[in-house]
Structure 1
Amino acid sequence: MNKLAYTFLILSFMTTGFYLLYPSPVDTAVSFVKLKTSSKYTINDRLEAFGSSVRTRLLPDFQEAKVPLPPQAISLLAFKDTKRLELYAQDNQGLWKQVKVYPIQAASGNLGPKLREGDRQVPEGVYAIELLNPNSLYHVSLRLNYPNAYDRQMGALEGREQLGSDIMIHGKNVSIGCLAMGDVAAEELFALAAWVGIEHMKVVIAPTDFRLNRQLTMDKGLPVWTRALYANLRAELSLYEPTPVSVN
């Protein structure tokens, strides 16, 4: 073996060894992405991970409200103008008690209902929880049943077909038509939904808290049926007595 070939062989071994010890940033990133996307959690996995800490955090709030944990049922009242989400729980006598208030970290769009896919609007109405996602891109999430029957009815009336979907209450602080609550709050809401059962949960999303008789200036571009929607929301909100609970 001549000197040139020998030198080339040594350099090849050195390069290979360096790569094994210090892989390229691209390869490292790809491996990390594969690791993250291959993680498949179950709801029970998530409850095992943070259920105990959630219970510890929430227990004082439920005790102060004189409501058992878990309660009989849960309602979440979300108000766009103040970016506020109120947690109400039903006690053993069927009375609704305000337990906690969360700040909404992010909610895209303006006041007014969601009309179509891609309009970046958070919907307005009364919704059920459709499913819990323990593998959300935004930590964990609760998916609303948007579009509900009323949304579909108004869409059909106006010839709107692509109404959008996958509206979530989730973690992190980024929103495109969803309610971003931050990870800690999302864990609490996720755990409560799992304990109570999603069939015992309701979400009311309104432009403002109609219980406080706030004057709402309506955009002239809103559909004519928006007034009827807001009358329904006003009636729905009247079931829950507002109490001065500070934002947690």
Structure 2
Amino acid sequence: MKIDWTRRAALLGGAAVFLSGCASKFQNYDGPPVTRLRMSKGQRVLALDGVSGVLRTYRIGLGFAPEGHKQFEGDGRTPEGSYVIDRRNPNSLFHLSIGISYPNEADIAFAAAQGRKPGGDIFIHGGPRRGIDPLGVQDWTAGCIAVTDREIREIYAMVRDGTPIDIYA
């Protein structure tokens, strides 16, 4: 039996490149634990805090109508208040994403009193995918917090479910 070493090397090399591309979506983090996230909508900054202080900061984009607290589905606002990171999506249309526990009981009650839905699915996520290009527009999401794909890989590795997040105006 004759082995075609050139073909075999090409196939194995291609598989290695493919697998390394898949693996690069997820990073490892073995530094100090993130104890809290703090976000300033006005300054467009997300800070990841540890026990001894700020571990990392990121520039962010917000919902297309960033002024004020999110109240209703489709309003384009990013929530304000205290929430927790409550889920993660490794298959996000926006590379990777981690979920924020909006709406809370007060958000639900307020929207219901107005006969409306509070909305939901608020995430910190990476850049646009599938042909969507914000063309440099900073606030382009439907209410989420946007960072670059490189940054969401880092955040995804560092932040655990259950971590508190405080979002300020």
Check whether TM > 0.5: yes
Picking from 165, 169, 173, the partner of 2:124 is: 169
* Counterpart Cα distance in 2 of 1:84 and 1:69: 21
Structure 1 partner of 2:19:
none
**Which has the larger helix fraction?**
1
Residue by residue over 1:161-213, the C-alpha shift from the partner in whole angstroms, topping out at 9 and shown as x without a partner, is 311010110000641110001111111111112xxx312x1111111xxxxxx
Give TM-score scaled by structure 2 length. Answer: 0.72
1:17 corresponding residue in structure 2? none
Structural RMSD (CA): 2.3
Q: Is the 8 A contact 2:39 2:167 kept in 1?
A: yes
Aligned AA for 2:153? E
1:183 corresponds, among 130, 149, 157, to 149
> Which residue among 88, 91, 98 is the counterpart of 1:132?
88
How many angstroms apart in 2 are the aligned matches of 1:49 and 1:120?
28
Identity %: 32
> Whose Rg is larger?
1
Give CA deviations for 1:137-159 in whole Å, capped at 9, x if unaligned: 00000111110122123334x33
- Answer yes or no: is 1:149 the counterpart of 2:105: yes
- Secondary structure at the aligned position of 1:198 is classed as coil
Distance in 1, matches of 2:75 and 2:148, equals 23
Structure 2: distance between partners of 1:144 and 1:82: 20
User: Deviations 1:207-236 (Å, cap 9, x if unpaired)?
Assistant: 1xxxxxxxxxxxxxxxxxxxxxxxxxxxxx
Inter-partner Cα distance in structure 1 for 2:55 and 2:115: 38
Aligned length: 138
Residues in 2 aligned to 1:159 and 1:83: alpha-carbon distance in whole angstroms? 29
Deviation at 1:108, TM superposition (A): 2.4
**Corresponding residue number in structure 1 for 2:134:** none
Alignment pair present for 1:50 and 2:29: no
Query: Which residues of structure 2 form unaligned runs of 5+?
Result: 1-21, 129-139
- Any conservation in 2 of the 1:115–1:155 contact (CA below 8 Å)? yes
1:47 is displaced (CA, Å) by: 6.9
- Aligned 1:34-49 pairs, distance under 5 A: 49=25
Query: Which of these residues, 86, 103, 110, is aligned with residue 66 of structure 2?
Result: 110
Shift of 1:133: 0.2
SS at match of 1:186: helix
TM-score, length-normalised on structure 1?
A: 0.50
Structure with greater strand share of residues: 2
- Match of 1:205? 167
- Cα distance change of structure 1 residues 103 and 190 upon mapping to structure 2, 3 Å threshold: same
SS of match in other structure, 2:91? strand
Q: Is the 8 A contact 1:109 1:121 kept in 2?
A: yes
Residue type at the aligned position of 2:143? G
Task: For 2:145 and 2:71, locate their aligned partners in 1 and report how far apart those are by CA, in whole Å.
Answer: 17
Structure 1: which 5+ residue stretches go unaligned?
A: 1-45, 56-67, 91-95, 208-248
Task: Report the residue type matching 1:87 in the other structure.
Answer: L
Change (3 A) 1:205 1:160: farther
